[in-house]
Homo-oligomer: A and B are copies of this chain.
Amino acid sequence: MPDSTSPRTTVKRLPDRAAYDRETVNAILDEALICHVGFDDGEGPIVIPTIHARVGNTLYLHGSAASRMLRTIGRGVPMCVTVTLLDGIVLAKSHFHSSMNYRSAVVVGRGQVVDDAAEKDTAFAAIAEKMAPGRWDGARRPNDNERRATLVVAIPIVEASAKIRRGGPDDDPEDLMLDFWAGVIPIATNRGPPEEYVADPL
């Protein structure tokens, strides 16, 4: 269901790679551990990576109350959040048709600072669970000072799109018999074995 398109998030190039349904956008937002936030710092666009979490149709960002990025987007200026999952390097017989397999989602809109304590905790919990499932109950929750020191910005997921490329190279027929290797090098982002840090008993 194209419930979240607009001229800005309509994929102009290669529209066969585009998807607008909320489920596809949400799945990409949820799988990605970090996003890239675009905003104007007064001199031009700037892009900053950060962790995000989605709750329903809202995207939450959080960080220090002193963060320039959060303070700027918290004022409700136009902004963009993009996440990208890289799935493979597509090597065609020609450089021209070489490409990447990926799933990306772009959300444009305006954020607003979350002041409500319960909604702030909802955002904290979602971010903790994204870092490690079950983690919200697995660490000390924020106290009042920490809550005050942390800015949470909510971005409604209204204008959004996804773009996906999958599969092998799309070579020109006349290139197919060229004696070059063609195929896909899969790319995966993996979590390794957890490394415990034990406090030094002083």
Q: Count contacts on A: residues with CB < 8 A to the other chain.
A: 85
> Which B residues touch A171, using CB under 8 A?
199
Taking CB atoms and an 8 Å cut-off, the chain A residues in 78-99 that contact chain B are: 78-82, 84, 86, 89, 91-96, 98
A74 within 8 A of B: no
Which of B136, B140, B183 touches A194 (beta carbons < 8 Å)?
Answer: B183
CA distance A159 to B202 in the complex (A): 45
A47 within 8 A of B: yes
Q: Report yes or no: B187 in contact with A132, Cβ–Cβ below 8 A.
A: no
Interface stretch among A16-24, A30-38, A53-61? Answer: A30-38
Q: Report yes or no: B38 in contact with A47, Cβ–Cβ below 8 A.
A: yes
Given A46-B8, A47-B106: A183 touches B195 (CB 8 Å cut-off): yes
A sample of 29 cross-chain residue pairs with beta-carbon separation below 8 angstroms, ordered by A number, consists of A13-B64, A34-B102, A36-B84, A38-B45, A38-B47, A40-B45, A44-B77, A44-B78, A44-B108, A45-B79, A45-B80, A49-B84, A86-B189, A93-B139, A94-B139, A95-B136, A95-B146, A98-B135, A98-B139, A132-B185, A139-B182, A140-B175, A177-B199, A184-B194, A185-B192, A185-B194, A187-B190, A187-B192, A190-B190
**Closest 6 CB pairs between A and B?**
A44-B78, A186-B192, A176-B199, A38-B47, A38-B45, A47-B82
Given contacts A138-B180, A185-B192, 18 further A-B contacts (CB under 8 A): A12-B68, A13-B66, A40-B44, A44-B78, A44-B108, A47-B81, A89-B191, A94-B140, A95-B141, A96-B142, A132-B185, A139-B180, A140-B178, A181-B194, A182-B199, A183-B195, A184-B195, A186-B193
